[in-house]
């Protein structure tokens, strides 16, 4: 395969420059010739970026391979331009010990097409009662998380932070106070009240963030907040950063682009945290612009079609996002000039790697960005198809992704 990407926008060392780039098999080089090679295809209107890194995905294996496997998830990631993903531990067996972690690592070694790095749990079985074997897992995990559940005990979280600090590993916290959930399953806002749904309070998220900030002050651990969704969360993290607290955070594309006014009686709009209010969405966007929010993660959470067909109340929490994230954010943030392509690259590639100590070569990904198309879940390579962005018009189609000197995705067309 030989392709000349003519006048491509190429990200290098924090700056986007215009260059002609020649792809030969899986090798990319600057093309300085005066005539196009006779055996090369020519493609215009591309951006060439370092492979993305998603610090929050669910690949469901071992235990739930009918939803997603390491192989299908890593292929979907490559289709979305990702070359590194960090996988959450709500699996079976739960990676809370060296033995259980090995069950996942064996599959990763066998089937992963890109870099797949697991989290270990904070507590045994993610039950919040007894700390997991952090020391036994530390050499092969990116950090520790009980994603899907907040650690309710102050004492357990404090000890987890101390031990993670000693190991040089981050704590990635799903912040949720169980006593403030009120049996809810969507945001406690106008849509919930108008349609008779039980709402999840915003306080269930930001109150635990505030607690953890105080624990981070005490321990100094590398602390990362998962999928923030409320204006109060943004402000608490902004203030903590002003005071040099060791904290980073992520949000998802759905919290940037949607709020609860977009809800329909359909499981593809159900995730945790839920879509919040317009004021929350505006605060999330401001956090992206001013640097309070460090990275964008998809929280890619595939389920079966049946599990997502039960409406807002009964459907499983979670939507997929690896294959639509860049097109959405390029279309609705970069093209209108809300943020630069450089900033989006920082959010999706540079900052995640820096925070989680991922130093390997990210490879690269190439997107064509002038031909508009419609997001169609049937085109996804993930087993999951449930997305609130189905039918949305976007720019940014992945043409090729290269990792480790191998082409891990190429658009056959």
Does residue 33 have a pLDDT over 90?
Answer: no
Does residue 259 have a pLDDT over 80?
Answer: yes
Q: Which of 96, 212, 259, 299 is catalytic?
A: 299
- Mean pLDDT of all residues in 48-75: 98
Does residue 405 have a pLDDT over 80?
Answer: yes
Structure tokens at 348: 């999706």
- Mean pLDDT of all residues in 209-236: 98
pLDDT band at 413 (very low <50, low <70, confident <90, very high): confident
Alpha helix (H) residue ranges in 315-365: 325-329, 341-345, 351-355
pLDDT for position 38:
86
Could you give the CA distance from residue 387 to residue 98 in angstroms, rounded to a whole number?
34
pLDDT for position 219:
98
User: 153-185 pLDDT, tens per residue?
Assistant: 999 999 999 999 999 999 999 999 999 999 999
pLDDT for position 34:
82
pTM, two decimal places: 0.98
Give, in degrees to the nearest 5, the angle at Cα 307 between 315 and 261.
Answer: 35
Does residue 35 have a pLDDT over 90?
Answer: no
Q: Give domain limits for the chain.
A: 51-361
pLDDT band at 253 (very low <50, low <70, confident <90, very high): very high
Could you confirm whether 106 is annotated as catalytic? Answer: no
pLDDT for position 412:
85
- Mean pLDDT of all residues in 390-395: 98
Does residue 97 have a pLDDT over 90?
Answer: yes
Structure tokens at 79: 């289709």
3-state helix, strand, coil in the chain (%, to 5): 35, 25, 40
pLDDT for position 332:
98
Three-class secondary structure of residue 384 per DSSP: coil
Q: Which residues pair with 120 in a beta bridge?
A: 144
**Per CATH, the architecture of 51-361 is what?**
Alpha-Beta Barrel (3.20)
List, in order, residues 6 or more apart from 249 with CB less than 8 Å away.
224, 225, 226, 228, 233, 237, 292, 293, 294, 295
């Amino acid at each position: 395969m030989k392709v000349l990407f003519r006048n491509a926008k190429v990200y290098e060392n924090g700056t986007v420059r215009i260059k002609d780039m020649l792809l030969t098999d899986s090798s990319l080089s600057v093309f300085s010739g005066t005539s196009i090679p006779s055996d090369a295809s020519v493609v215009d209107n591309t951006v060439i970026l370092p492979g993305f890194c998603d610090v929050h995905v669910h690949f469901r294996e071992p235990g739930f391979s009918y939803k997603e496997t390491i192989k299908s998830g890593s292929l979907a990631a490559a289709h979305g331009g990702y070359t590194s993903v960090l996988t959450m531990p709500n699996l079976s067996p739960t990676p809370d010990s060296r033995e259980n972690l090995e069950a996942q690592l064996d599959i990763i070694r066998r089937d992963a097409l890109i870099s797949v790095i697991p989290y270990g749990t904070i507590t045994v079985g993610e039950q919040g009662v007894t700390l997991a074997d952090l020391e036994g897992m530390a050499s092969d995990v990116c950090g520790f998380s009980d994603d899907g559940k907040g650690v309710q005990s102050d004492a357990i979280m404090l000890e987890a932070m101390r031990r993670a600090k000693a190991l040089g590993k981050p704590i990635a916290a799903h912040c949720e106070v169980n006593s403030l959930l009120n049996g809810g399953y969507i945001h406690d806002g106008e849509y919930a009240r108008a349609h008779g749904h039980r709402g999840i309070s915003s306080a269930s998220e930001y109150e635990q963030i505030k607690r953890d900030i105080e624990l981070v002050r005490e321990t100094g651990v590398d602390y990362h907040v998962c999928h923030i969704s409320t204006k109060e969360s943004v402000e608490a993290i902004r203030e903590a950063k002003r005071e040099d607290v060791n904290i980073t955070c992520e949000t998802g594309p759905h919290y940037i682009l949607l709020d609860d006014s977009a809800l329909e009686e359909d499981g593809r709009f159900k995730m945790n945290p839920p879509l919040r209010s317009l004021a929350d969405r505006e605060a999330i966007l401001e956090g992206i612009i001013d640097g309070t929010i460090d990275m964008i993660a998809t929280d890619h959470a595939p389920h079966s079609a049946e599990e997502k067909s039960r409406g807002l109340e009964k459907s499983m929490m979670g939507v997929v996002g690896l294959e639509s994230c860049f097109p959405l954010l390029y279309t609705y943030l970069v093209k209108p000039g809300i943020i630069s392509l450089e900033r989006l690259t920082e959010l999706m590639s540079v900052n995640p790697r820096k925070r989680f100590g991922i130093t390997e070569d990210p490879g690269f990904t190439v997107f064509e960005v002038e031909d508009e198309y419609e997001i169609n879940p049937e085109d996804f390579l993930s087993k999951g198809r449930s997305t609130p962005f189905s039918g949305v018009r976007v720019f940014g189609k992945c043409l090729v992704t290269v990792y480790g000197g191998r082409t891990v995705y190429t658009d056959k067309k």
